Amino acid sequence: MAAMKSICLYCGSSNEVDPKYIALAKDLGKRLAESGYRLVYGGGSVGLMGASANAAHEAGGDVLGIMPRFLLTKERIFEQVEHRIVDTMHERKQMMFDESDAFIVLPGGIGTLEEAVEMLSWARLGLHSKPMAFLDVDGFWSPFFELMSHIVKDKFTPAEFLEQFAHTNTPDEAIEALRVRHIDMK
């Protein structure tokens, strides 16, 4: 496995969220740029997506946005960074996967959850071994981790699968968790 160069970000696109989530997204974007990682994300200029991409861009980072055509008016593409327009959500998710070495999941809605769970499912099926970190603030992801523990406890998934992803509380912790897991998966 090559060195980790690009990190895919899954996160919410709502501007109506608590400002603490926007602040977390900005902090993560800045830290990814400062650490030399390219940010691959959904291409929008709104919500946590826009906040993280703008912060990475302002910090001199490399950013790639991938947007399906039908979302151009809703999520408004962030024109200042490299972007690719695709026809479907499936193409968007596949390209985000192909362009990334690891994943960070910030707070978000059903779309964010769906993207993260799909990548976890692919990992569980042995289709990839790219690491993932959930970046939390105020326990946002705690119910998800309770569900994962329940799934393991009831033997629907083996306990070692939990090593595929990390539950972190700061951007630096998330980046480090990915770095360590990426090395361990080589």
Q: What angle do CA 35, 38, 42 make, to 5 degrees?
A: 130
Quote the CA–CA distance of 184 and 186 in Å, as a whole number: 6
- Give the domains, in start order, of the chain with CATH numbers: 6-184 (3.40.50.450)
Q: What is the 3-state secondary structure (H, E, C) of the chain?
A: CCCCCEEEEECCCCCCCCHHHHHHHHHHHHHHHHCCCEEEECCECCHHHHHHHHHHHHCCCCEEEEEEHHHHHHHCECCCCEEEEECCHHHHHHHHHHCCCEEEECCCCHHHHHHHHHHHHHHHCCCCCCCEEEECCCCCCHHHHHHHHHHHHCCCCCHHHHHHEEEECCHHHHHHHHHHHHHHCC
- Tokens 């090593």 belong to 163
pLDDT at residue 168 in the model: 96
Q: What angle do CA 123, 126, 129 make, to 5 degrees?
A: 55
pLDDT tens digit at each of 186 positions of the chain: 578 999 999 999 999 999 999 999 999 999 999 999 999 999 988 999 999 999 999 999 999 999 999 888 777 787 788 999 999 999 999 999 999 999 999 999 999 999 999 999 999 999 999 999 999 999 999 999 999 999 999 999 999 988 889 999 999 999 999 999 877 665
pLDDT at residue 152 in the model: 96
pLDDT at residue 1 in the model: 54
pLDDT at residue 185 in the model: 61
- Tokens 């302002």 belong to 58
